[in-house]
Structure 1
Amino acid sequence: MTPTVKICGLSTPETLDAALEAGADMVGLVRFPRSPRHVELDAGGALAARARGRVGVVALLVDPDDDELARTLEALRPDLLQLHGRESPERVAAIRARFGVPVMKAVGIADEGDVAGLHAYAAVADRLLVDAKPPRTAGALPGGNGLSFDWRLVTGLDLGKPLMLSGGLDPANVAAALRLTRIGGVDVSSGVESAPGIKDRARIAAFVEAAKGA
């Protein structure tokens, strides 16, 4: 089966179009002011409208309150909501129930204990994303750090829900990651950038080609 490919952190019409032209299946719009990939509501809404009906539109938020969720969902009208913070399984379930939008929960992985913790999220989320745990440094972002984890920890993982792999992926290693893990989807952000928050059209195209051909 051909893997699902998500290009995350898009912030301009030109790079969004590059993802569409390359054959990405999902595009991610980040609503997190500390991120260099953050989009304001007006810009995010315009990008979402540009992509709607052509690919899945994903809105990424980090530990949002209900007001922020409501504003983002109204402006972006995403197909999928990505929660990329420290949201508990209970919070994920509450968000899904209140807003009625499918939810993908991102979970940082560093060891087998983190993998075991995925089961609680699988019970309440529609999708799961396994990412590298962020570094314990001041100012570290919850994702998009260009760091990978030991992919052997999730090789053959089956939680009964669609699963995506993220963290340190780029055009050079995505095919190997897919072959090793046998996970059905990949999510990339910094691995297709020329600088933090600046997406590179050629790297987007190369990443999608490598992933789809794995």
Structure 2
Amino acid sequence: MFPHLLRAAGQWLLLFPVRVLLILVGALVVPLALPLARPSGPAVLFTQAPGDWQLVTLPDWAWLWSNDRDGALGDKRGWWHLNAPFGLGAYHWFSKLWWLALRNPANNMRFAPLLGCPVTECDYRYWGDENVEDRPGEGGRRFLLATHKQTGRRYYGFYGVWQWSATRAVVVQIGFKGEPKDWAEDYTGDLSRQWAGMTFEINLFKDIS
């Protein structure tokens, strides 16, 4: 396991600044690209809110900072429509900017082989707890390695949750977000769901209530 920990540390140290740089660049790209955003496909009703959702994406040159699953209007449930800043709703330009540049920055980077793990194309193994959640009584530690079946490329991820009160926990999640349960999913209807992106989260006081 120790050699894998060293490789993981090297991978994270290399990719973390790349991720940060892309997120910062997005603060410039998204405002420039939003006026050129284009809707595609039919509009459908939000599942949990009044109003319509439609996939709205940035132009091709800004693809990395777009969101091919949720688009600029947020999730299909309508949660973002109800919770966008200042009660503006999902359709306002500022809400789209916030969603793409701040809440889900450079979201499409997870579809890039360097920065995203395609679950169906990889085998996996893990050390520690199979199920780790940031919910009361469901903490634990897991170090996971996914290996691409053809290229041998490795994707490392660590997830640790240490609960220290009834509603708070220390949460550390670094690297690729793949979980063992992801390999039990059926992605035939939507292969884009298989991609596990990267994250770097260290929260000493996370609310898990």
State whether TM-score is above 0.5: no
Q: Which has the higher strand share?
A: 2
Q: TM-score, normalised by structure 1?
A: 0.26
Highest relative contact order (Cα 8 Å, sep 6+), 1 or 2?
1
Bigger Rg, which one: 2
